[in-house]
A and B are shown apart, each in its own frame.
Chain A
Amino acid sequence: MADSLQPVEDPSRAAAIRTPAVIAPGHTFGTVTDKISAIVLARKTPLGWYAGFGTAMFFTLLLLVSLTYLVLTGIGIWGNNIPIGWAFDITNFVWWIGIGHAGTLISAILLLLKQTWRTSINRFAEAMTLFAVACAAVFPVFHTGRPWLAYWLVPYPNTMNLWPQFRSPLIWDVFAVSTYATVSLLFWFVGLIPDLATLRDRSQSPVGRVIYGMLAMGWRGSAHHWHRYETAYLLLAGLATPLVVSVHTVVSFDFAVSIVPGWHTTIFPPYFVAGAIYSGFAMVLTLAIPIRAVYNLEDFITMRHLQNMAKVMLVTGLIVAYGYLTEAFIAWYSADRYEGFVPLNRMIGPYAFAYWALIFCNVVVPQALWLKRVRTSVPVLFIISLIVNVGMWLERFVIIVTSLHRDYLPSSWGLYSPTFWDWSTFVGTIGLFLSLLFLFLRFLPMISIFEMRTILPEARVGE
């Protein structure tokens, strides 16, 4: 059985639908374990890792410089000012939170739907979620202006006798995002426990054994433990599924509950959730494509995965396109002159370039994914994923800035342009994200080893 060349699925069925397998043939429990754990346990860190981590750290330091200057000076160093009180900061916040959503979708929703192809991408997609949420949190916290008082957002008994305003979507956001961060961390850590035990047992270095041993908490793979473990994992997936839908819904409430033209619309929750998944899958592709090439993981992250992710992007992209249409239609159909002005202003106003760029990136380019030739071409997929990432960032920029800069009173219209510090903070969070990702790739198994074992043919109990 060990050297069986059978693909994972029923070969007749796989041949019939002509899709590549989710794992290359010929792998055994041993080879899967060794191949994934070798990346972490390798004695020598590859030079490319140092180069990548060094570059990412440079931008992380830029973030620290920007935030230090911000705390010393005030948020006046950013370009936001009345009437555009929210600009890059909230755009980046929504963009990062949205990116995180694909991680939870892959780990929780696809688990409940029994999509075994999720197995080789869920671990690093979940890590991506955590790091994206960490980057997202930077923006609202520092946008408060006095981040050292951010804990006032948390309800706790205090000598001022003050309580948070629970009727405000901004407080809902605090609860939604902090719950999301906590549950994502739990989900990720629970998934890691058996793999940490594998690393503990295979590590050659005493330090590694101690650290992985402590993190594995004495996991020994007992049948009784596995049973409770699987129950807990499934329940977490069941809880994370409505949670992930709620998070971007609540983020959209930050806008939809207000009365600003262009924000006050009921399409926002579903359209934000679809956009989040769209941008998240784009980011998973952006990360997965170089990672599988650099670490030679083509056996585990196969064309099947890339194609499936491309299809999810196509579908969610169409939902987002439908959202844009509905937004414009309802604005006209409402017969409200302020609402009707918003789409026109987006299309031909001072930020028209951003609007048309977003339509090009999010609606036009992804239509190429209808073609199988495009879905099976790795470089093209990579480029499309980058374009969608840019497009989804532009979408949030357009929603936020074009709605605020011209609302009811023409006397209080204004324009926004980002300053150096707007850009440096944004680029800095990308550096933070990549630094965390590089550390993750070096010290933790980026693919769930135990789940990979379960999809091998030899994992089946025969009679």
Chain B
Amino acid sequence: MKGPSPLYGLMAEFDDVSSLVLAAERAYGEGYRCLDAYSPFPIEQLHEALGSHHTRLPLIVLIGGLCGCLGGYALQYWSSALAYPLNIGGKPLHSWPAFIPVTFECTILAAALSAVLGMLALNGLPMPYHPVFNVPRFALASRNRFFLCIEAIDPKFDVEATRRFLETLNPREVNTVAD
């Protein structure tokens, strides 16, 4: 059913943080672009070593927050001044200072929801299946091992040459990742 090469990529396993960061830098320097590194905790230098750029997430959160702010205020203005006008203690119908707390809470709520949903969407999660899980040792990526995977879709990818290159990075072992 699959094509001739049901291969997702080649994955090298490392023992420590510094080797992984160094390997990622070397692989990027070598011209590989379709690659990813996997670690049990965030490593600041890693995504820079992979040539990754800024994320759009803060913009999404800003837009979400603004929508919550305007939406919350509009809801209060519309319901208190237009849809259901009630004279409360002689206050004006559009009593804006009283609307600030709810506006604030709506801003935070919408911004927080956009931060979480935006992060998940940009990361493509939830994703029930991913080829890297086909490597049995990858279970250690959530414990104490570090992995660098060069994907087969990379134009520079060649099973033999890439494997030789990964071997030069002093990995613990190099595994093929079935797609």
Q: Which residues of B contact A33 (CB under 8 A)?
A: 40, 142-144
A183 and B108 contact, CB distance less than 8 A? yes
Cβ of B99 under 8 Å from chain A: yes
B142 and A198 contact, CB distance less than 8 A? yes
Interface size class on chain B is 35 or more
Flag B80-118 by CB within 8 Å of A: 1 or 0 each. Answer: 100110101101000100110110111011011101101
Q: Tell me the minimal C-beta distance from B87 to chain A in angstroms.
A: 11
B112 and A218 contact, CB distance less than 8 A? no
Q: Which residues of A contact B129 (CB under 8 A)?
A: 218
Q: Tell me the minimal C-beta distance from A405 to chain B in angstroms.
A: 25
Cβ of A86 under 8 Å from chain B: no
Cβ of A1 under 8 Å from chain B: yes
Flag B140-173 by CB within 8 Å of A: 1 or 0 each. Answer: 1111100000000000000000000000000000
Cβ of A356 under 8 Å from chain B: no
Q: Which of A14-22, A131-139, A227-235 contacts B (4 or more CB under 8 A)?
A: A227-235
B57 and A221 contact, CB distance less than 8 A? no
Give complex CA distance A231, B44 in Å.
11
Chain A residue nearest in CB terms to B93: A167
B24 and A223 contact, CB distance less than 8 A? yes
Q: Tell me the minimal C-beta distance from A236 to chain B in angstroms.
A: 5
Query: A225 and B123 in contact (CB under 8 A), knowing A1-B16, A179-B108, A236-B116?
Result: yes
Query: A179 and B105 in contact (CB under 8 A), knowing A221-B40, A461-B43?
Result: yes
Interface size class on chain A is 35 or more
Q: Which residues of B contact A253 (CB under 8 A)?
A: 101
Q: Which residues of A contact B120 (CB under 8 A)?
A: 217
Q: Which residues of B contact A227 (CB under 8 A)?
A: 42, 47, 52, 55
Using a CB–CB cutoff of 8 Å, the interface residues on chain A facing chain B are 1, 28-30, 33, 155, 161-167, 169, 171-172, 175-176, 179, 182-183, 186-187, 189-190, 194, 197-198, 200-202, 217-232, 235-236, 239-240, 242-243, 246, 250, 253, 450-451, 453-454, 458-463
Using a CB–CB cutoff of 8 Å, the interface residues on chain B facing chain A are 16-18, 21, 24, 36-43, 45-47, 50, 52, 55, 57-58, 61, 65, 75-76, 79-80, 83-84, 86, 88-89, 91, 95, 98-99, 101-102, 104-106, 108-109, 111-113, 115-116, 118-120, 122-123, 125-130, 132-133, 138-144
Q: List 22 A-B contacts (CB under 8 A).
A: A33-B144, A162-B84, A171-B102, A175-B106, A179-B108, A186-B112, A189-B116, A190-B119, A194-B41, A198-B142, A219-B125, A223-B37, A223-B38, A223-B50, A224-B123, A225-B125, A226-B47, A231-B55, A232-B115, A236-B115, A250-B105, A453-B144
